[in-house]
Structure 1
Amino acid sequence: MTAPRVKLDIDATRDKLAALGLGHAVETLESLLGEAVRAEMPAHVFLDRLLDAERSGREERRIKTMLKMSKIPTGQTLENFDFAFQPAIERSRIETLATGSWIRNAEVILMQGPPGVGKSHLLVSLGVRAIQIGFSVQYYRFDELLTALGADAHIPPSRLKSKKYMSSSVLLIDEMGYNPMNRDEASLFFRLVSYRYGRGAMIITTNKSIRDWTELLAGDEVLATAILDGLLHRAHVLNIKGRSYRLRDLEEALKG
């Protein structure tokens, strides 16, 4: 006669947890209660474990939701970056950036280098880490960003605050430099950089060295200087040189 009573008590507890919005605790309750009975777990330890399950479940859901909203490509993390293949990248420096202090200071990371050396992988990885430690992130390929800026060109800067490329704590701009900007695009990019200066962090990957930015920015030396001044004043510049990961993978595939 006691077993049904226990079952009813568990169901009642589930209902109360669900009413409080503790869905992850609901899912964990039965298995954790069984473990608690077997191990003669003290009540406060059981409660602590149940709350930990709720907290970790909520955090996992938050990260999953934020990754989806950020549009960050999947599968690239710091854990699967091959530092041994790319000795030009100081692992300790990347690990320091992964702590997020540069985000709190609204700084910029500028990664320069030829195609295939790992710039995009690091950009994505640092973006994922930023979400994990609690920051909002938005990812754009540079051509996508220019399209978004162009669509909003008629909107005054004061009304752009809600746009994700303005409001996100971290703006990821990937693959800048493959096509030069026209004068209007360069001006809109300057507006973005000016607005985010001191307000939000950015990571930019580019195949162009700083000396080539005038050509990239519609040949306008004054505008290029103004943009670089805003970006480099509080910047971490990573010059990445070395072999291409994609060519390495192709070589290995051909060997196989």
Structure 2
Amino acid sequence: MTLPRQRGLTEQAADAAIDSAFRLLRLPSIRNEFSDIADRAMKDQMTYRGFLAELLMTECDDRSRRRSERRIKAAGFPREKSLRAFDFVANPNIDAATIHTLASCEWIKKSQPLCLIGDSGTGKSHMLIALGTEAAMRGYRVRYTLATKLVNELVEAADEKQLNKTIARYGRVDLLCINELGYMELDRRGAELLFQVLTEREEKNSVAIASNESFGGCTKTFTDPRHRDRHRLLPPRQHPSAR
């Protein structure tokens, strides 16, 4: 489609041509905001460059917002949680400065793991979802799952001879958030499959785990001594924990 170029358009014809151009160029945000921005530009006596910059930034900001929303939706969080909504006063054992440092996502950039350990009601799930959301907003691919749900999916994939494909899918995301690890003992097969996912991601992409079990209590999840020994061999610096 080619738009006719004419001089001396009436205001109505100009508005129609502008709207058609926005549709053709797929600029929905500019199209929706154009009238308001144009009126504001006239009132504030913006230069042509200033007006153009305002239009382009409107489109860029909205596209960035939509990408963030898509990444958050793709992560599969069960509910919305944010750091702003977290009550640090009610959870004095959680250091706000440490959490806000984690929100910068440098640990994800370095492919480091994160463990959130504490009893029920200490805010682990809230913090896991909130930090995962921060990561998605910063452009990282995130996936959230419950430990039991992940293991069940892996078992089904193994039965259907799709295990490698499933492990690879979980291996590709920048941050894998696993909640409720340690709430129940896994059988040997389930623990082995979960261990394969963790091994696939080791030193490649980050894993964030929320658990009610300390590192010493990992025997409830990983009953095989080989898995427990491998767990203990991970350097402590790779486990920034929020209790």
**TM more than 0.5:** yes
Q: Of 219, 223, 226, which residue of structure 2 is paired with 1:222?
A: 226
The match for 1:192 is: 197
Q: Is the 8 A contact 2:181 2:210 kept in 1?
A: yes
1:35 to 35, 40, 51: 40
User: Corresponding residue for 1:123?
Assistant: 128
Q: Is the 8 A contact 1:142 1:173 kept in 2?
A: yes
Deviation of 1:62 (Å): 1.0
Tell me the alpha carbon deviations over residues 117-162 of structure 1, each in whole angstroms, 9 at most, x when there is no partner.
00010000000100111101000011111111112223464x4465
CA distance in 1, matches of 2:77, 2:221: 25
Equivalent residues of 2:184, 2:220 under 8 A apart: no
Q: Could you tell me how far apart the structure 2 residues matched to 1:74 and 1:145 are?
A: 18
Q: C-alpha displacement at 1:105, in angstroms?
A: 0.8
The C-alpha deviation readout for 1:168-192, integer Å capped at 9, x for no partner, is 1000001111110100011111111
| Contact 1:10/1:30, CA 8 A, preserved across alignment | no
- For 2:180 and 2:44, locate their aligned partners in 1 and report how far apart those are by CA, in whole Å: 55
CA distance in 2, matches of 1:60, 1:10: 27
| Structure 2, gaps ≥5 residues long | 1-8
The separation in 1 between residues aligned to 2:21 and 2:232, in whole angstroms, is 57
| Residue 60 (1) aligns with residue 65 (2) | yes
Opposite residue 235 of structure 1, the aligned amino acid is H
AA paired with 2:17? A
Greater Cα offset, 227-236 or 197-206: 227-236
Q: What's the offset of the Cα at 1:6?
A: 1.3
Q: What secondary structure is seen at the aligned counterpart in 2 of 1:140?
A: strand
Q: How many angstroms apart in 1 are the aligned matches of 2:226 and 2:58? A: 56
Task: Choose which of 20, 24, 41 in structure 1 pairs with 2:29.
Answer: 24
- Please state whether the residue corresponding to 2:10 is helix, strand or coil: helix
**Separation in structure 2 between the aligned mates of residue 64 and residue 231 of structure 1, nearest angstrom:** 35
Cα offsets for 1:182-238 (capped at 9, x unmatched): 0001111111111001111111000111111123212x2222221343585622122
Contact 2:167-2:197 within 8 A present in 1 as well: no
Distance in 1 between residues matched to 2:37 and 2:112, nearest whole Å: 44
